[in-house]
Amino acid sequence: MDGLDHVLRRMGRHATALLPFSLLVGIVFQDLASAMRPLVGPLSTLLLMLALLRTDWPRVRALLQRPALALALSAALLVAVPLAVWPFWSLMPIWRGLIAALCLSAMAPTVISAATTATFLRLDNSLALLIALITNFAVPLTLPPLALWLLDLDLHIGVGALSLRLLTIVVVALVGAIAIRAWLGVGRLRHNAERIDGLSIAVLIVYAIPLMDGVVARAIADPAKLGGFIAASFAGALLTNAVAVLGCLPFLDRRSALTAGYCSGGRNNALLMAVLPIAADPDIFLFIAAVQVPIYVIPTLLQPIYRRLLRPLPDAAVTTTPTTTSRVAPGD
């Protein structure tokens, strides 16, 4: 047990560095990918449960007292951002299936693990959690009409069935988190924070395996196309991130704007696997696999940028009086 505890603690300390490694696991264990597809739902539930355990609940309660911010940002991510990026992608001389996939990705809800990775990146994990929850509940009402209108693509999505599945994930995760918090207590929960973070990374590594199904076969058959899809998935994630940040900065503080951008760039594309018709363009499914690369790699790339942008200003860190000069810690 001491060895497992040591491993979990180290994984918690080096969370963002380990995220890209999970993609390698998914690629290496291709034979397991198809068999593990049914685990996508339970793993999503477990990730959300761990995120709920590490959430600043006083901050969540404060946000829920004034939910306008999270609701407005969620609406912007589900509607305004797709409308903003659609003209850009529709004019690009790329595969039509890739254009459809990039637009569908921009319509998808925030990835469930956003609150988990937001913690590692020093963003507002409570706001990220609310956005993830709201967008996953609301997406059945926004994605089908937008996809039909912009892409002329009928997804044959069952609003009630999808809402029930999402509700099941949220309720099970919430009940589990409440039970664990009650069992551990605030003190023990704080003491085990690094273990919980390490367990979250372990779950993310396993989660990558079914999402990378078929990537090796497509890479062997058409490596140039797969490379183009991976590059486009990076561009799509960074574009939706930038659109949200630039749209929010005039109205919000920097940390909230960066959190909104991070939630906009990290979309739950895996959810599309369950709602797309069998006859959908195979390129869309290739993109769903390719987009896992930026989802797992971008947090590591953005971490130093976020640290620099969120660094306390010199004027805020130093307080000067007529007789003394004292340094104030960023958290004071």
Whether 51 is in a domain gets the answer yes
- How far is residue 262's CA from residue 255's CA, in Å, rounded to a whole number? 10
Cα atoms in the 13 Å half-sphere on the side-chain side of 86: 16
Average of per-residue pLDDT values in the chain: 80
Residue 316 has pLDDT above 60, yes or no: no
Please, which pLDDT band fits residue 267 given cuts at 50, 70 and 90? Answer: very high
Please, which pLDDT band fits residue 84 given cuts at 50, 70 and 90? Answer: very high
Residue 264 has pLDDT above 80, yes or no: yes
Whether 321 is in a domain gets the answer no
CATH number of the domain that 173 lies in? 1.20.1530.20
Q: What is the pLDDT of residue 328?
A: 34
Mean pLDDT lowest for which of 150-159, 213-222, 233-242?
150-159
Q: What is the pLDDT of residue 278?
A: 58
Q: What is the pLDDT of residue 298?
A: 87
Q: Are 50 and 116 in contact (CB under 8 A)?
A: yes
Higher pLDDT, 253 or 167: 253
- How far is residue 113's CA from residue 193's CA, in Å, rounded to a whole number? 16
Query: What is the percent of the chain with per-residue pLDDT over 90, rounded to a whole number?
Result: 23
Please, which pLDDT band fits residue 330 given cuts at 50, 70 and 90? Answer: very low
Whether 289 is in a domain gets the answer yes
Whether 183 is in a domain gets the answer yes
For the residues 96-112, what does the mean pLDDT come to? 90
Q: At 187, which amino acid appears?
A: G
Please, which pLDDT band fits residue 158 given cuts at 50, 70 and 90? Answer: low
H or E, element range at 213: none
- How far is residue 23's CA from residue 202's CA, in Å, rounded to a whole number? 12
Q: What is the pLDDT of residue 27?
A: 79
Q: Which tokens in the block code for residue 4?
A: 């497992």
Residue 92 has pLDDT above 80, yes or no: yes
Angle, helix 68-75 to helix 254-265, in steps of 10 degrees: 40
Q: What is the pLDDT of residue 235?
A: 95
Higher pLDDT, 325 or 192: 192
Residue 86 has pLDDT above 60, yes or no: yes
Phi (first) and psi of residue 329, to 5 degrees? -65, 150
Residue 219 has pLDDT above 70, yes or no: yes
What's the pLDDT tens digit per position in 220-231? 888 888 889 999
Listed in sequence order, the residues at least 6 apart from 98 whose beta carbon sits closer than 8 Å to its beta carbon are: 228, 229, 232, 283, 287
Number of separate domains in the chain: 1
Please, which pLDDT band fits residue 78 given cuts at 50, 70 and 90? Answer: very high
Q: Which domain holds residue 155?
A: 16-302
Whether 95 is in a domain gets the answer yes
Please, which pLDDT band fits residue 331 given cuts at 50, 70 and 90? Answer: very low
Size (the chain), residues: 332
Q: Are 298 and 238 in contact (CB under 8 A)?
A: yes
Whether 9 is in a domain gets the answer no
Q: What is the pLDDT of residue 157?
A: 58
Q: What is the pLDDT of residue 275?
A: 66
For the residues 267-274, what does the mean pLDDT come to? 78
Whether 26 is in a domain gets the answer yes
Mean pLDDT lowest for which of 124-138, 216-230, 306-320?
306-320
Please, which pLDDT band fits residue 131 given cuts at 50, 70 and 90? Answer: very high
Whether 308 is in a domain gets the answer no
- How far is residue 313's CA from residue 330's CA, in Å, rounded to a whole number? 9
Angle of CA points 177, 51, 102, to nearest 5°: 135
Q: What is the pLDDT of residue 79?
A: 95
Q: What is the pLDDT of residue 133?
A: 84
Please, which pLDDT band fits residue 329 given cuts at 50, 70 and 90? Answer: very low
Residue 125 has pLDDT above 80, yes or no: yes
Q: What is the pLDDT of residue 114?
A: 85
